[in-house]
Amino acid sequence: MKIGVLALQGAFLEHEQMLEKAGASSFEIRQKADLQDMDGLILPGGESTVMNKLLRELDIFNALNNLIENGLPVFGTCAGLLLLAKAVNNRGSACFASMPITARRNAYGRQLGSFFTEERFGTIENIPMTFIRAPYIENADSRVEILSVVNDNIVAARYKNQLVTSFHPELNDDIRVHEYFLNMIK
């Protein structure tokens, strides 16, 4: 199984390491020429506004947008969640907008910008969750499966081929969320 990891900026290296531990190979997407056949795509954490801009400047946006629309399994963490959300802070998202959720950007404010907790992810207990200036999901279409809730806020969800987490599962050494994503591909 071969996963493309968007590597324009942010926490992409950690995803590659998690994929390796989970037994999948990966390659980095830094420019258009890096695009090749892939079984899945990871959109990492970082700055969603910067990634959105670079995706267009580097002319990668359309290719990835088509793949996602055509059902390529995609996993967005943190900024990656914002790239997939249909709306951000009640405004239309400027990026893929393929997941019928409304996300709140930097939802925890500056004081609580970063924190750690352990919660359930779907049927999996005690997943370590590191939040860094994270968004959460304010609203989800009824077809969206809610996987994790922390402090009454939705922080992980799945819709068809798309998985999103507000937190960074790649920053702790628990590979079960990545395994869940790889199982979506099988």
Binding site for ligand GLN (CB under 6 A): 45-48, 78-79, 82, 105-106, 132-133
| Rounded least distance, CB 101 to ligand GLN, Å | 15
| Rounded least distance, CB 36 to ligand GLN, Å | 25
| Rounded least distance, CB 59 to ligand GLN, Å | 21
| Rounded least distance, CB 104 to ligand GLN, Å | 10
Q: Please give the Cα distance from 124 to 129 (Å, whole number).
A: 13
Rank residues 34 and 47 by Cβ distance to ligand GLN and give the closer one.
47
Q: Which of 110, 109, 111, 87 is nearest to 99 (CA)?
A: 87
Rank residues 1 and 139 by Cβ distance to ligand GLN and give the closer one.
139
Rank residues 97 and 185 by Cβ distance to ligand GLN and give the closer one.
97
Active site residues: 78, 168, 170
Task: Give the position of tokens 């020429």.
Answer: 33
Query: Could you write out the DSSP letters of every residue in 95-138?
Result: S---EEEEEETTTTTTTTSEEEEEEEETTEEEEEEEEES--EEE
Rank residues 40 and 44 by Cβ distance to ligand GLN and give the closer one.
44
Beta bridge partners of 75: 42, 163
> How many helices, marked H, and strands, marked E, lie in the chain?
5, 13
